[in-house]
Amino acid sequence: MSKPNEIDRYIAKFPVKIREVMERLRTIIKKAAPKAEEVVSYQMPAYKMNGMLVYFAGYKKHVGFYPTSSGIREFNHEFKDYKWSKGAVQFPLDEPLPIKLIQRMVKFRLQEDAERATAKKKK
């Protein structure tokens, strides 16, 4: 049996309902970005390739999803049912996660990350 990583430990400290939603979100992110590395950054689960892609965090009534400010700018027109700010969107615990939207945001961030990495190499 493998030993729990930092994200496992982060998720384990929450009540069952929040853990379940965070595990679903984690699975969605991992399927959209299977080669991304799981890390903890800013005390939250996060995923990175060349740079940071997305983060998430658990709260009493929602999970926060942080696709960086560019991810929010690109998709905020689709957040009519959610609270959001310039860097985060909140998914209520009592509603299904918007799987396709999350997948698209992660893939958008992967593309941005790859473009930045390519531009950096050209310099």
pLDDT string in tens for the chain (123-residue length): 445 589 999 999 999 999 999 999 999 999 999 999 999 999 999 999 999 999 999 999 999 999 999 999 999 999 999 999 999 999 999 999 999 999 999 999 999 999 998 888 776
Cα separation, 63 vs 109, in Å, equals: 19
* Structural domains of the chain, with CATH: 6-118 (3.90.1150.200)
**For residue 13, what pLDDT is reported?**
96
**For residue 122, what pLDDT is reported?**
77
**For residue 45, what pLDDT is reported?**
96
Q: Is 94 helix (H, G, I), strand (E, B) or coil?
A: coil
